Amino acid sequence: MYTAKENRYADMTYHRCGNSGLKLPALSLGLWHNFGDTAPYENMKALCFTAFDHGITHFDLANNYGPEPGSAERNFGRILREEFGAYRDELIVSTKAGYTMWDGPYGDFGSRKYLLASLDASLLRLGLPYVDIFYHHRPDPDTPLEETMGALAQAVFSGKALYAGLSNYNGEQLRRATAILEELHCPFVINQNRYSIFDRTIERNELKATAAELGKGIIAFSPLAQGLLSDRYLSGIPTDSRIMTDGRFLRADSLTEEKLAKIRALADIAAARGQSLAQMALAWDLRDGVVTSVLIGASKPSQILDNLGALANTHFTEDELAAIDKLGD
């Protein structure tokens, strides 16, 4: 049975989710990759232990994370049962539903039937009576928003989730959803969206500004642009890289000479700050206090330790921000 380090909270920064009482660590561990049945279980444990030993209390899942879909929840549930049982009250466990999980008309998007059935299945895989945050994973263009938000509210009021969250919504959708959830007195606290130097969609679609206005938190995923914003590709494409081993989310044709030149220029800015490119990219997400937490992924514990170095300096000069703007999205 795992025993956590006694000083695990000494160096981590915790931010409040908007105006709520919930605090999240500045860095959270995402289980999108490396927790499916194709990954070694002992490595999964090492990743979770390293994270928690350094104050990362939030572990982020979704019903379809794998491969196969559901396997990340099942594997993390085993870690909870075998290793983390004594620490459940110190953990934030989140999951989501919205993408395709099973065949037929009730296996994705945002119907009441799908969301509540999916949450029940997630809890079974995790071996938990509740999750701390339950997200709707993506907007549903066909289901009334009132139905989807009502399902989130029921998940909370039934005791199967403590807070509600939204993922991949834009500013206008967030505003409408917030009004419904406030009327239902549902504790909705956080938005999960892609955000990086190379992807600033939430600035253009007003999600970031609207969340700040409404007092809602933001947790950013893909802050390293699937690894592009790291030292991994500075000299080309390694044979063991995600581009070469798993082309679902990052393809070789995305690493053009123009993109590579920008990555190298950003690495120079990072070096002048005394940071790795990955550390600077994570710090950039946290630079203005609007983003509550940044989701990191890792295939080995050393990557988590390197990412923690981002928190030593999240301040940027105006010149640094201007230079990054010229090289970013």
Average pLDDT by stretches of 10, the chain with 329 residues: 97 97 98 96 98 98 97 98 98 98 96 98 98 98 98 98 98 98 98 98 98 98 94 73 54 78 96 97 98 96 97 97 94
Tell whether pTM > 0.75: yes
- Give the separation between CA 167 and CA 275, rounded to whole angstroms: 30
3 state SS of 170: coil
The DSSP secondary-structure symbol of 86 reads G
β-pairing, 14-16 vs 23-25, is antiparallel
pLDDT score, position 243: 56
CATH of domain 14-327: 3.20.20.100
What are the DSSP calls for 202-245, one per residue?
A: HHHTSHHHHHHHHT-EEEEE-TTGGGTSSGGGTTS--TTSHHHH
Strand-pair category, 188-194 with 161-167: parallel
Q: Which residue has the tokens 């500013």?
A: 171
Peptide bond before 67: cis, by omega within 30 degrees of 0? Answer: yes
pLDDT at residue number 244? 45
> What are the structure tokens assigned to 168, written together?
């991949």
pLDDT recorded at residue 266: 97
* Distances 172 to 208, 324, 329 between C-alpha atoms, Å: 11, 28, 22
Which residue reads 């630079």 in tokens?
A: 287
CA 181 distance to own-chain centroid: 22
Q: Which of 296, 318, 322, 290 is nearest to 33 (CA)?
A: 296
Q: What is the pLDDT of residue 255?
A: 78
pLDDT computed for residue 286 by the predictor: 98
Residue 329: its pLDDT value, please?
79
Tokens at 231, concatenated: 């030292």
